[in-house]
């Protein structure tokens, strides 16, 4: 294990390109300006040798296989983005148990609330382009919406409070009638007002700005604000401003039932609400995941998510200064002791120093992604089940710490590949 006091030298990240490797893993390399093949670099920026890559690959492979055997997830898919942009992927188990289809690095998985990181990045991008201010009240942009005045604390909530879950607005996803409709009307296309309806006229959890309570509803409201100020659909704005410039081609809106390339997902947590165990039938969702929208709203590969985490949390998601504001946090003990929440980012303290990231839950899938700023490493781990037991007894982000630690330890076996701070 490496201590939090040691570090990698951070180099400018580079645009990923898949190189063929083992069936269960791939190393991604390229430059930020071209897709030409580059020489792999070590964790301190010097040329890396094949043996070091093999050791890191073996350490990651062994870890995900160990987790699969210990906790019984159908499949696990993970990725590690090194400081100069190289990405290694690790998979174990099945994308579909019934079909005996092995999980691969190219399988898409729903990333759940990790999608909030695209929402906050898009909002900060809009701020950088003077389309709004974080201090604006939501009413400034939404007062003409017929439903807006019926939101709890409607006249008081600000953009910052929405992003940081300080509005006192309850969660719409806890409404049983909502889930009944999701299951019985699988082709329904959900409008923002449909998602907000369960909380209209509800009592606020607390006065705006005077508490903290995680609520997907906040991000539905932010999505409506974004579409108003940008005058284009949310997904188009994210794609054009954030995904396409960085070549994140395996990050797709979960805006329809037919999403080619998905891993099967297995639902356990929501069976009591009528959600089927296998969420795909012949490759098509048995409900419309489009309802998640700005509460999450994306399918991705771990490689794309790890790359995104490195870009976002190193301040390189777009031209402009945003990271300090995004990291402005408040205590969020409900997410774990010592945990805080910024503007769409979970901050936690680990044995490798601070971790910036987000967790995600979506019917049939679990995700955790994060970035270790002291080391320039980003890690993602995804499971194709929503059974929380498959991630162990601790927080999901413990797996990010373990994968990063094992990779760093493997690299340090070669004294030339790891600098001392």
Range of the domain at 342: 64-81+89-111+250-403
Q: How far is CA 124 from CA 12, 15, 65, 118, 159, in A?
A: 21, 22, 38, 10, 11
- As a whole number of angstroms, the distance between CA 170 and CA 296 comes to 17
- CA-nearest of 339, 406, 412, 349 to 379 is 406
Q: State the pairing for strand pair 27-28/75-81.
A: unpaired
Residue 107 lies in a domain: yes
Residue 294 lies in a domain: yes
Point out the domain boundary residue: 219, 243, 267: 243
Q: Is 353 helix (H, G, I), strand (E, B) or coil?
A: strand
- CA-nearest of 212, 208, 405, 378 to 303 is 378
User: Do 156 and 301 fall into the same domain?
Assistant: no
User: Do 262 and 284 fall into the same domain?
Assistant: yes
Given a contact cutoff of 8 angstroms between Cβ atoms, the answer to whether 91 and 60 are in contact is: no
User: Do 264 and 313 fall into the same domain?
Assistant: yes
Other CB atoms within a 10 A radius of the CB of residue 77 amount to 30
User: Do 257 and 378 fall into the same domain?
Assistant: yes
- As a whole number of angstroms, the distance between CA 250 and CA 295 comes to 19
CB within 8 A of 279, min separation 6: which ones?
Answer: 264, 265, 266, 267, 285, 286, 287, 363, 364
User: Do 184 and 218 fall into the same domain?
Assistant: yes
User: Do 204 and 264 fall into the same domain?
Assistant: no
User: Do 274 and 391 fall into the same domain?
Assistant: yes
Residue 421 lies in a domain: no
- As a whole number of angstroms, the distance between CA 123 and CA 134 comes to 9
Amino acid 84: pLDDT: 82
Other CB atoms within a 10 A radius of the CB of residue 260 amount to 8
User: Do 355 and 233 fall into the same domain?
Assistant: no
Long-range contacts of 269-272 (CB under 8 A, 24+ apart): 269/361, 269/386, 269/387, 269/388, 270/179, 270/363, 270/386
Residue 23 lies in a domain: no
User: Do 223 and 333 fall into the same domain?
Assistant: no
- CA-nearest of 300, 326, 279, 292 to 380 is 300
- CA-nearest of 360, 375, 223 to 302 is 360
- CA-nearest of 248, 356, 238 to 297 is 238
Residue 101 lies in a domain: yes
User: Do 335 and 262 fall into the same domain?
Assistant: yes
Amino acid 274: pLDDT: 87
Point out the domain boundary residue: 243, 265, 290: 243
Q: Is 366 helix (H, G, I), strand (E, B) or coil?
A: strand
Residue 100 lies in a domain: yes
User: Do 153 and 288 fall into the same domain?
Assistant: no
Q: How far is CA 187 from CA 233, 289, 293, in A?
A: 20, 10, 15
User: Do 167 and 304 fall into the same domain?
Assistant: no
**C-alpha angle 291/292/293, rounded to 5°?**
95
CB within 8 A of 62, min separation 6: which ones?
Answer: 406
Residues in a beta bridge with 102: 94
- CA-nearest of 138, 202, 193 to 170 is 202
- As a whole number of angstroms, the distance between CA 291 and CA 189 comes to 7
Dihedral angle at the C-alpha atoms of 99, 104, 110, 115, nearest 10 degrees?
180
DSSP letter string over 331-352? E-GGGSTT-EE-SS-EEEEETT
Point out the domain boundary residue: 243, 266, 292: 243
Q: What is the pTM of this model?
A: 0.89
Q: State the pairing for strand pair 27-28/109-110.
A: unpaired
Provide the CATH number for the domain around residue 131. 3.40.710.10
Amino acid 46: pLDDT: 53
**C-alpha angle 75/80/86, rounded to 5°?**
130
Residue 7 lies in a domain: no
Domains identified in the chain, total number: 2
Residue 135 lies in a domain: yes
Amino acid 10: pLDDT: 31
Other CB atoms within a 10 A radius of the CB of residue 328 amount to 15
Parts of the chain with a pLDDT under 50: 1-45, 414-421
């Amino acid at each position: 294990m490496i201590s939090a006091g040691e570090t990698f030298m951070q180099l400018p990240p580079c645009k990923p390109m898949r190189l063929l490797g083992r069936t269960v893993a791939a190393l991604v390399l390229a430059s930020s300006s071209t897709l030409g093949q580059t020489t792999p670099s070590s964790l301190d920026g010097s040329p890396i040798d094949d043996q070091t890559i093999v050791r890191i690959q073996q350490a990651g492979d062994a870890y995900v296989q160990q987790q699969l055997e210990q906790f019984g997830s159908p499949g696990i898919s993970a990725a590690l983005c090194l400081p100069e942009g190289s990405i290694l992927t690790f998979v174990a188990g099945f994308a579909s148990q019934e079909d005996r289809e092995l999980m691969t690095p190219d399988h898409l998985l729903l990333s759940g609330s990790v999608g909030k990181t695209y929402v906050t990045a898009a909002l900060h991008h809009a701020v950088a382009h003077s389309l709004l201010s974080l201090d604006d009240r939501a009413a400034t942009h939404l007062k003409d919406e017929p439903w807006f005045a019926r939101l709890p604390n409607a006249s008081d909530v600000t953009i910052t409070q929405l992003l940081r879950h300080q509005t006192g607005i309850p969660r719409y996803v806890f409404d049983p009638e909502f889930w009944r409709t999701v299951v019985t009307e699988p082709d329904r296309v959900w409008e923002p007002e449909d998602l907000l309806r369960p909380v209209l006229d509800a009592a606020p959890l607390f006065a705006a700005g005077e508490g903290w309570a995680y609520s997907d509803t906040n991000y539905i409201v932010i999505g409506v604000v974004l579409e108003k100020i940008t005058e284009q659909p949310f997904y188009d704005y994210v794609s054009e401003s954030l995904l396409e410039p960085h070549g994140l081609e395996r990050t797709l809106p979960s805006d329809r039932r037919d999403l080619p390339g998905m891993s099967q997902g297995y639902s356990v947590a929501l069976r009591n609400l009528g959600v089927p165990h296998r969420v795909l039938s012949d490759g098509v969702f048995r409900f419309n995941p489009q309802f998640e929208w700005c509460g999450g709203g994306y399918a991705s590969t771990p490689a794309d998510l790890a790359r995104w985490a490195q870009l976002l949390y190193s301040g390189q998601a777009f031209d402009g200064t945003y990271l300090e504001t995004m990291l402005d946090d408040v205590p969020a003990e409900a997410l774990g002791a010592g945990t805080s929440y910024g503007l769409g980012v979970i901050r936690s303290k680990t044995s490798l120093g601070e971790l910036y990231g987000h967790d995600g839950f979506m019917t049939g899938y679990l995700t955790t992604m994060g970035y270790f700023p002291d080391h320039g490493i980003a890690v993602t781990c995804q499971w194709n089940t929503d059974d929380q037991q498959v991630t162990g007894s601790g927080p999901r982000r413990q797996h990010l710490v373990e994968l990063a630690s094992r990779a760093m330890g493997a690299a340090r076996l070669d004294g030339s590949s790891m600098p001392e701070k």
